[in-house]
Every structure is written in structure tokens, then in C-alpha cells.
A and B are shown apart, each in its own frame.
Chain A
Amino acid sequence: MGTVSFKNIHVRIESCISWLEWSLLALALLLYVYFIAMTVIQVVLRQELLVSVQEAETRVSNLEASYIEGSSVLSQDTAASLGLVEVPTASYVTVAREGHDRLTRNQ
């Protein structure tokens, strides 16, 4: 009786170990396929992202060129044509602060 019992336990343990081994193998294979697939996807996504970055950089470059060109047109003549008048003399006020004065431009 004891011998039979011991044999049954031994068989069950062996069976568990087998299932565990097969499960681990299956898991390893699945993980391997999954990570390879994810890596491939990441590489493709990264390349597409790089292309998007390049396109965004181009749009930004064009905007910066427009800004620089636009700012170069600003001049006193432009201001005069828009009806702006130069302040003949600027007013400055002295701000007294804790024992010393600070000269600042009138806003």
C-alpha cells in the first residue's frame, strides 16, 4: 500500500513537472515571437516618426524664414505709413525704493 502511494505521488510530481516545462517552453516561444514583432513595429514606427519630425522641422523652418523676413520690413517708414508717431521725448520717472532710487522708463 505504502509503495503504491509513493509511486502515485511520484507520477503526479513527474506530470506536474512536465506540464511546467511545456508551459515554460510555450511561454518562451510566445514571448520570443511577441518581442520580435514589437521590435519590428517599433522600428517601423520610429522611421515614420522621424519622417514626421522632418516634415515638422520643415514647416518650422518656413515659419522662421517668414518671421525674419517680416521683421526686416519693419522700419520707421513703415511705422509712419501706419500712422504711428515717434514720441519726441520719452518721460522717465524715478522710483524710490528703500533708500535708493531707480530710474525707469515711463510705460
Chain B
Amino acid sequence: MRTQLLIRIRILVVGIVIFACIIIVRLYILQVAHGQSYRAEANNQYVRSSRDIFDRGSIFFTLRNGERIAAASLKSGYMLALNPNQIEDAQHVYDTLRKHMDIDKELFFARAGKTEDPYEEMARHVTPEAAELIEKEDLKGVQLFREQWRYYPGGSMASLVLGFVGFGEDGITQKGQYGLERYWESVLERQTDRLYVNFFAEIFTNAREAFSSEETPRVGSVVTSIEPAVQQALDRVLLKTQDEWGAKQLAGIIMDPKTGAIYAMSALPSFDSNLYSEEKDARVFRNPFVEDVYEMGSIIKPIAMAIGLDEGAVTQDTTYNDTGNITVDGYKISNYDGGARGVVPMQEVLNQSLNLGMSFVADKVGGKVLGERMKAFGFGEETGIDIPFEARGLINNLDSPRRVEYATAAFGQGIALTPIATVRALAALGNGGYLVTPHFVTHIQYENGAEASVAPDDHVQVISEDTSREITQMLVNVVDDALRGGTVAKEHYAIAAKTGTAQMAHDGERGYYDDRYLHSFFGYFPAYEPRFIIFLYHLEPQGARYASETLTAPFMELVDFLINYYDIPPDR
């Protein structure tokens, strides 16, 4: 009998163990194997609207000492909502809330009056301090929910680069809309629904990942090369220049010519990334450096000259007879003032920015070769910069059978480039002859703690190192002897630079305006081992014809700042 009892007990124990195993396996199937589909069905019961739940990776600036500071981070607070059918005395609720936060009276009563509606959002981004005080008031019909939102500590600083996070087409999910926020969306976005899942389901949520063979997306934060002090200096200089010359649009960039890492990029008009919803005109969000194309004018001359030197078609001492104007294919080409210079060497072509001299170089190089070499400088292609909506230049004229197109392309007319493609090409003049990829992001910090370098490392040689040194020397001579009569040259720093004054093309018609110009200025220093290239431009500045009048002072102010900030020793 006892034996029988033991047998029964054992059977019972085995039965219980089998039953337990069945339950565990069933739980696994429900929560881990099929969890996704059941979670989707149960969303309305278990999960709060994803609109209130926001998480995202950060974007960092890098200080000159290598430390990082957030350019885009998160802030948390509360969202205040009303349950109108529970509010008995709307006036009392309004008066009480007003003591602790700003609240629009009309909006409040409009929403509180919807008595058949159980949920009306009233205010967002309520501070934790205010939320605590409101909670103590214990107001019926007033609810507080935790929320997080994207925050830009710098406000409008580098806003064109950072972009902002806004609601997508579905009106619920938030995604990067411009700039780095958009380009690096796949790294920065987070799935946050599991924070608010019913906590019994939460028990097995992590287990699913442990058993799943799906590759989890690699998400993290991005680290940029933007240096906040340099960015602020550029912003200050641009604002000052805008006040002085009243241009329609103004932009600048400071970049490492050897690596393409960008220290600062700015344009006016600009916006505050925290207040993007207050902007009336969406065009302010566009980044003109990558999205707009312009005929750059004389700023292209050093590139054409470098091609001439590299091809062996001309040397620094080559001369030509400048008669003031020439006719090519029936078109008249003249210098900026129509004046003749007689026999001048190539250095003077750059010093005095002579169009005829550049047409001479184009002729010596040959149109086909010039066209191919200019394309090799990246004209007409995207640079690969890590922000969206990059445009390509318009360079059809570089395939033309007409000589006049090459004669004019050599001084930057007839071909249109994005400013960033122009900067990339100009950087090759000083860095030994290599095209680099302009970029902002240097590293990604993954959520698991690992860090990866993502800075592009490609260098395509477009001119020889000897040519790079030669053209640099010519551009240093431009600053030492010609720019503002040589008065801005620095005794102990070799600076290579060139100005550009381009006539603006008619909108939608052939020809150019007589009174509208694009002024540009580029320079790099220390000239023979450059650490910085600066490029500035503005559209339709008022009160001055030439770029040397409007952009020399801003450029030199930035040079002085960078020399002091980075303690750059003299190089001569």
C-alpha cells in the first residue's frame, strides 16, 4: 500500500513538473516568439501613445581639448492634460494652474469645455518643479504624464548643421527633419515602447532579445568635429558682416583642409532648433552650402591656374599680352574693369584677378583637358558630406565643343557649383593636391559602450604636391602684395587667399545682372602646412562692388581668432 502511495506521489510530482514545463514553454511562445504581434494587438490596452515617449541618441560637439559637449540632447518634464468630464469648476482649475505655469486662458476654457472628451492635451514641456506643485494641488480632471523631448543647448548655434527633430508624415513618430538629425536617423533613433509595456510582458521582453537571432540595430550617439568656440566666432563674424553690408544671404565654413573635418559652418538667415515650429518660411531650414549652386566667379581662378601649372601648360613666369578684352566664338571677354595690362606674368593674373589671363591659361591647357581636370576636382559631383539634400553642380559647359565655355569656366563663369564642392576643390590646392570628403561626424558612440571612427579617409590626388606648393606660393603672394595693397598680410604667418566677385545670373533668363554680385573669399593657413581653410560668401551685399572690400576684414578676424585660440606658432 505504501508502495502504491509512493508511486502515486511520484506520478503527481512528475505531472506537476511536466505541467510547469508546459506553462514555461507556452509563456516563451506567447512573449518571445509571438510577442511582437500580440503587442501590436494589445497596444491600445497596454501602451501609452508613442507620441509621449521619446528617446534619441545625442549629437556632440568636440572642444579643442578633445572633450565633448552635447549639441543635441534630451530634456524631460511633464505633459499636462485635462479630463474635461471630471472638471467641476473650470475657473478654479484655471486659477490654480496659473499660479504655477503660463497657460493660455482661451485655449484652456475651450478645451475644458469639451465635456464629452476624456482627454485634452493642454501644455507640454512642463518643468518637474511646476509639475510637483500642480500635483500637490490635487486637482480633479488634471493629469500629468512624463515626457521627454529633443533639446539643443546651443539654440541657434550650428542649427543648419544639426537640423531638428519633428513629426513625420504620420503625425505621431518624431524623426530627424534636416541636417545631421536626418542623415544619421538610423543611428540616433530609439525604440522606446518597452518602457511602458504592461510589466508582466516586460518580464519576457528582454528574454526575447536574448533568444532572438535577429540582429539588433546598432544605435548610439554621434560625435562631430564642430568646435563650439570656433562656431560661435564664425556666427559673430557673419552677424557683424551682415549688419555692415546687408547681404541677402551670408555663409561661412571653417574646415581642416587635410582631413575634411568641419570645425564650423553657418549661414544667415538662420533659426533656433528649439523653436523651429515658430518659423514661417521653411526655406530657412535649407543649408545653402549643400543645396544651392552658384557661378562662383574669380574664386575658381586658382583651381584653373593649378591645372595649368600641373599640366605644364604655364609656369609662374609665363607671360601673355593683356589687351583688356578678347573675342572668342563671337563673345567678348574682358577684365573686370575692361582695362588692358600689357605683358603680365601669371602671378599678376591672380594678383589682379584678370579674366583674360585665365582665358589664356584655358587656351594653353586645351578645352577638353581643362574640362576633364575640372571634373576631376569634383565639379559636378556630390562631395559625400554627411548632411542630406546635397545638390550637384551644373557643369554642362565643360562638355561643350565651344572654346568660349572653357575660356569663361577658367574664371568661374558658365559653371555653377555648390559652395561645399568649391571648398573641397580649393582645399586640394593647399593640402598637397588631395580631394578630401568634407564631413561633420567623426565617431559613433554605440549604446553598448563601444566607439567607432566613421570619419571618411579617402584622398584622391588631383594635382601633384609640387603644383600644390607652387599655387600656394602664388596665393601667398596675392595676400602679401595685392590684397588691399598688401596691408592685411601678417608678418609671421603665410596666408594663402583669393577673393571672388561674380556677377549673378538672371533668374530664368540668359545673361547677368549689372548690379548684383556674389562676393566670396577663401584662404588657408599656415599656408605650407595648412590647418584651416576658411570660405566666406554673401549674395547681393550693398554698398560695395568687390569682395575684397566686404570680406577681407571678416576673414582676417577669423584668422586672428584661430591663431590665438589654437596657439598656432608663426611659420615665417
- Chain A 64-104, CB-CB to B under 8 Å as 1, else 0, gives 11011001100100000000000000001000000000011
Instruction: Count residues of chain B with CB under 8 A from any CB of chain A.
Output: 35
Interface centre among A17, A32, A39, A72, by most chain B C-beta atoms within 10 angstroms, is A72
* A8 contacts partner chain B, Cβ-Cβ < 8 Å: no
* A33 contacts partner chain B, Cβ-Cβ < 8 Å: no
Known: A18-B9, A25-B13. A104 touches B3 (CB 8 A): no
- Interface residue from B3, B199, B228, B570 paired with A68 (Cβ < 8 Å): B228
Residue contact A68 to B69, C-beta cutoff 8 Å: yes
Residue contact B229 to A71, C-beta cutoff 8 Å: yes
Residue contact B199 to A57, C-beta cutoff 8 Å: no
- Chain B 68-81, CB-CB to A under 8 Å as 1, else 0, gives 01100111110000
- Chain A 15-35, CB-CB to B under 8 Å as 1, else 0, gives 001100110010010001000
List residues 241-295 of chain B with CB under 8 A from any CB of chain A: none
Residue contact A40 to B203, C-beta cutoff 8 Å: yes
- Interface residue from A14, A50, A72, A103 paired with B570 (Cβ < 8 Å): A103
Residue contact A55 to B128, C-beta cutoff 8 Å: yes
Contacts of B3 in A (CB 8 A): 14
Contacts of B69 in A (CB 8 A): 64, 67-68
Residue contact B75 to A103, C-beta cutoff 8 Å: no
Residue contact B70 to A61, C-beta cutoff 8 Å: yes
Residue contact A43 to B10, C-beta cutoff 8 Å: no
Nearest-CB residue, chain B, relative to A21: B13
Residue contact A39 to B195, C-beta cutoff 8 Å: no
- Is the contact region of chain A dominated by helix, strand, or loop, or is it mixed? helix
List residues 145-198 of chain B with CB under 8 A from any CB of chain A: 146, 148, 151, 153-155, 157, 195
Nearest-CB residue, chain B, relative to A24: B13
List residues 8-62 of chain B with CB under 8 A from any CB of chain A: 9-10, 13, 16-17, 20
* B6 contacts partner chain A, Cβ-Cβ < 8 Å: yes
Residue contact B567 to A40, C-beta cutoff 8 Å: no
Nearest-CB residue, chain B, relative to A15: B6
* B464 contacts partner chain A, Cβ-Cβ < 8 Å: no
Contacts of A72 in B (CB 8 A): 157, 232
Residue contact A68 to B75, C-beta cutoff 8 Å: no
Contacts of B155 in A (CB 8 A): 65, 68
Known: A68-B69, A103-B569. A44 touches B153 (CB 8 A): no
Nearest-CB residue, chain A, relative to B10: A21
Known: A39-B203, A68-B157. A47 touches B70 (CB 8 A): no
* B202 contacts partner chain A, Cβ-Cβ < 8 Å: yes
- Interface residue from A11, A28, A65, A104 paired with B153 (Cβ < 8 Å): A65
Residue contact B153 to A43, C-beta cutoff 8 Å: no
Residue contact B6 to A18, C-beta cutoff 8 Å: yes
Assembly CA distance A83 to B560 (angstroms) = 21
Residue contact A25 to B569, C-beta cutoff 8 Å: no
Using A50-B195, A57-B74 as known contacts, list a sample of 9 further A-B pairs with CB atoms less than 8 Å apart, ordered by residue number in A. Answer: A22-B9, A43-B202, A51-B146, A55-B76, A57-B76, A60-B70, A61-B151, A71-B229, A92-B570
A sample of 18 cross-chain residue pairs with beta-carbon separation below 8 angstroms, ordered by A number, consists of A21-B13, A25-B13, A32-B20, A43-B199, A43-B203, A57-B75, A58-B74, A58-B75, A58-B77, A60-B73, A61-B73, A61-B75, A61-B153, A65-B151, A67-B69, A68-B232, A71-B232, A92-B570
